[in-house]
Amino acid sequence: MTTTANDQKKLPLLSIAIGFLDCTRLDKDATTYLLLSQNSVQEAYEFSVVDLDAHAGDLHIATLDVAHEIDGDKYLDRCRQAIHRLNQYVSESWSEAASPIKNDIKWFVITEVPFEGNYYMYGTSTLSVISLANWSKDMAPPSLLEFILRQTQASIPLFLGAAENHYDTRGCIGDFTVNLGEAKQHVLIGHICHECARAIQKVHGHTGLDALRMLLNKSWIGSTDTVTSVAAIMKKTFGYDLYITKGFSTSFMEKVKSALLTGVVQEFLKLSGAVILAWALLKFGLKQ
């Protein structure tokens, strides 16, 4: 593999702050853990999380009714205002205890406020915002958290200045999509087409391209059967099973289904079946 000047750039190549704003239903803890786990499998892209809702009082952010649509560009302005006030707040109140948020960081904001025209995403080269307002469980698979994960990854080429959006659907993160339903293919497949791969490599060499491919592969999430995997920890700690839970949080029936698929319950059912069978043999005199 040929090493280029771009491969020698100081890591991380890109820092992305993920903000929660006007989120009332989303399981923020489970979402945060999943998104930050990307930092442990590669070094090219650094993710951080800021709950802007938690700072709403300090930042003097007016509460929005998540049931009413808003123009996407106006919501981008709301996000910019919240981020600006956050930076001021950190500088004035926490300058001695914590370093300020880096100026060159890119922002990916998650909201539940619906956008006019049924759009689900607005963005620029420094700020993207995604609305989960129109998400419903019948859109799964993928699960909602898988969808959020993929969209943060799909924002990387935009933030790198290497976006090559194409109208035709290729299952590529560069697919041009208008609504949530159209995004399903690239979320499930997570491909980088040759055109988009060339654009990313041109900006940040093999390092940036290989790291993004690693994240898109999702093998790093693992299985819920492997106790140290991201998927298993999410299930045990936050009660969110990526392979069963579909929506904002785990429903009662999803919890039941998840429990029935665990090894403990399976072994219990096997043991119960053996006991019942032995009882039946004794009861009906079938034991030889």
The pLDDT tens digits of the residues spanning 141-169 come to 688 999 999 999 999 988 988 777 788 88
Q: How confident is the model at residue 211 (pLDDT cuts 50, 70, 90)?
A: very high
Classify residue 172 by its DSSP letter. Answer: B
Asked: is 10-217 a CATH 3.90.1170.50 domain? The reply is: no
Candidate from 1-10, 50-59, 252-261 with smallest mean pLDDT = 1-10
Does residue 254 surpass a pLDDT of 60? no
The per-residue pLDDT for 1 is 44
Q: What is the pLDDT of residue 63?
A: 84
- Please report which helix (H) or strand (E) contains residue 51, including its range: strand 45-51
> What digits encode the pLDDT tens for the residues 109-133?
999 999 999 889 998 999 999 999 9
Name which residue leads in pLDDT, 37 or 244.
Answer: 37
Written as one string, the DSSP assignment of 215-244 is HHH-GGG--TTSTTSHHHHHHHHH---TTT
pLDDT value for 222: 94
pLDDT for res 3: 45
Report pLDDT for 274: 65
Q: Place 188 in a pLDDT band, splitting at 50, 70 and 90.
A: confident
Buried b (16+ CB within 10 A) or exposed e, 62-86: eeeebeebbebeebbebbbebbebb
Residue with tokens 């009906």: 284
Which among 54, 105, 56, 58 has a CA at the least distance from the CA of 78? 56
C-alpha 103/C-alpha 87 separation (Å) is 9
The answer on pLDDT for 251 being more than 70 is no
